[in-house]
Amino acid sequence: MNASHNHTMTTNAHLGLGRTSLLAAGLMLLAGTTVASAQSGSDTFTIMGTVRDFIRFDNPGGHPDFQQYNTGHLTGLVEPLLDDQGKPVWTGSQGQKVRIQCRDSEGRNINPAFFDPSLGDTPPDLRSFNGTAITSAESFRQWYRDTPGVNLSMSVPITLERMPDSDIFFFHAHDDRSTGPREGFFPIDNDLYADIDPTYLHNYFFTFELDTEFSVQKNAGQVFTFYGDDDVWVFIDGRLVIDIGGVHGAVRQSIEIDRLDWLEDGDRVSLKLFFAERHTTRSNFRMETNLKLNSVEGPPTTALYD
């Protein structure tokens, strides 16, 4: 991400997720090994994601949406519902710039679409945006689909840890600039295109997709929070609940499950997260939740495409 951004931090060593352990965990999952979840009562659980690697726009074979734009936080880039393949759809709009976050009565940033003054929410300040964030519907369609000649893909697990003395689990890959090397979320530094940036020494320009599910527990204080950059969209039961679009520094947003009035107590529903790392120099990814998430088995990804 842009060098002017401020972030919180941890090192990859703190996560305990070295490249070898990531691949080993992924092989175990693909072989059918049972994955621990928050339901098991353990202090960690693992969920599977899919990374798709791209080449920056100004290199041969480059994708027009990676490294070309630097927009700030935008809302309204994607439709409120997933398509029939479970993927986000570009609205055709370049969105609105979020100047001041919408906040709930607890002071948590929330999706502006959920603003409700009767719940004590603070309204957002949204401004028009005249730049470009997404090149076209076709370019966006490629972000979360295996596309020959455009991207390479592989499965990558992430492991969430329990916060001490709580029912909240978190995955933390952030960088607060406290060290010279760029830290944060770089799951494919030695894989796929492996096009390491010569200045920042990481493989940028990728997307990450998580497909999980959980059981709704009404009036139990269920919350999901994401904090990072760049674009992040979270959909629950196919509907957009977290909207952190654009190329920007780390942004936090939460969703309280009790706000989702279309859900019933005991419902088993999907939670899908779509992330994009589109611009040097930072890559930040933190999720925290008391939801009991389980991975949903997806199609195999074997880096077939080049």
Closest alpha carbon to 231 in 176, 184, 279: 279
Structure tokens at 201: 């020494």
How many C-beta neighbours within 10 Å does residue 284 have? 26
243 pLDDT tier (thresholds 50, 70, 90): very high
- The helix (H) or strand (E) run that includes residue 157 is strand 152-162
Place of tokens 């929330």: 110
Q: What is the pLDDT of residue 184?
A: 93
pLDDT digits (tens, 9 = 90+) for 264-295: 999 999 999 999 999 998 899 999 999 999 98
Q: Give the separation between CA 151 and CA 51, rounded to whole angstroms.
A: 10
How many C-beta neighbours within 10 Å does residue 51 have? 23
First-to-last CA distance in the chain? 26
How many C-beta neighbours within 10 Å does residue 103 have? 17
Structure tokens at 102: 């919408």
Which residues make Cβ contacts (< 8 Å) with residue 91, sequence separation at least 6?
A: 76, 77, 78, 79
pLDDT digits (tens, 9 = 90+) for 122-171: 999 999 999 999 999 999 999 999 999 999 999 999 999 999 999 999 99
16 pLDDT tier (thresholds 50, 70, 90): very low
Least confident of 13-27, 38-52, 100-114, 202-216: 13-27
Strands 102-103 and 125-128, by their bridges, are unpaired
Closest alpha carbon to 105 in 123, 89, 91: 123
299 pLDDT tier (thresholds 50, 70, 90): low
Q: Which residue has the higher pLDDT, 29 or 96?
A: 96
Beta bridge partners of 251: 228
- The helix (H) or strand (E) run that includes residue 20 is helix 19-30
Q: Which residue has the higher pLDDT, 60 or 183?
A: 60
Taking phi first (over 0 means left), then psi (-120 to 50 degrees means alpha), and beta for anything else, what does residue 304 get? alpha
Interval 2-17 mean pLDDT: 34
Asked whether the predicted pLDDT for residue 306 surpasses 90, the reply is no
DSSP 174-198: ---S-SSS--B--TTTTSTT----T
CA atoms within 13 A on the CB side of 4: 5
- 33 DSSP assignment: P
Q: Where are the alpha helices (DSSP H) in 155-281?
A: none
Which residues make Cβ contacts (< 8 Å) with residue 149, sequence separation at least 6?
A: 61, 305, 306
Structure tokens at 101: 């976050």
pLDDT digits (tens, 9 = 90+) for 183-199: 899 999 989 999 999 99
pTM: 0.86
Interval 83-101 mean pLDDT: 98
